[in-house]
Amino acid sequence: MLLITCPCCGVSGEETEFAPGGEAHLKRFGPGSEEGEFAGYLFYRKNPKGPHFERWRHAYGCGKWFHVARDTVTLEIFGAYKATETAPPQEILDRIAARGKA
């Protein structure tokens, strides 16, 4: 079970109060892009064993989208940050590095 703290409303809940939204920080390739770029944007996803940056939504709570850094093996949550961030905050990267998983 994951315990997640929503960075939008500050409420902590377990994972069934939230909805996962897949890999975070995708760059969109739309009309006019190369076929390979579009296929990558649409279909290709990381599937790491270890730290992973994901989108989540506080589906049963405040309703807002945000980001979570999570270890797919230990299920440790390294932190959550707002959907407006285009890259993980340094403090979360430092926390991951401190686990020797940078």
Partner 1 sequence: MSDPVTATGGARFAGSDCAISDLGALGMVAIRGEAGDPAFAAAVQAETGFALPPVRRFEGEAEAGLCWMSPDEWLLTCPYAEAEARAGRLRAAFGGLHALAVNVSDARAAFRIEGEGARALLARGAPVDLAPAAFGEGDVRRTRLGQVAAAFWLGRDGAFRLVCFRSVGAYVFDWLKASAASGARPAGF
The residue ranges that bind partner 1 (CB under 8 A) are: 8-11, 13-14, 16-17, 59-64
Nearer to Zn ion, 9 or 26 (CB): 9
**Minimum gap (Å) between residue 17 Cβ and partner 1:** 5
Query: Integer distance in angstroms from the first to the last C-alpha of the chain?
Result: 24
- Measured at CB, which residue is nearest to Zn ion? 6
3 binds Zn ion (CB under 5 A): no
Looking only at residues 16 through 75 of this chain, which bind Zn ion when binding is defined by CB under 5 A?
A: 58, 61-62
Which three-class secondary structure state does DSSP give residue 45? coil
13 binds Zn ion (CB under 5 A): no
Per-position b or e across 22-48, b if 16+ CB within 10 A of its CB: eebeeeebeeeeeeeeeeeeeeeeeee
Burial bucket for residue 71 (CB in 10 Å: 0-12, 13-18, 19+): middle
Q: Which residues would be at the binding site for Zn ion (CB under 5 A)?
A: 6, 8-9, 58, 61-62
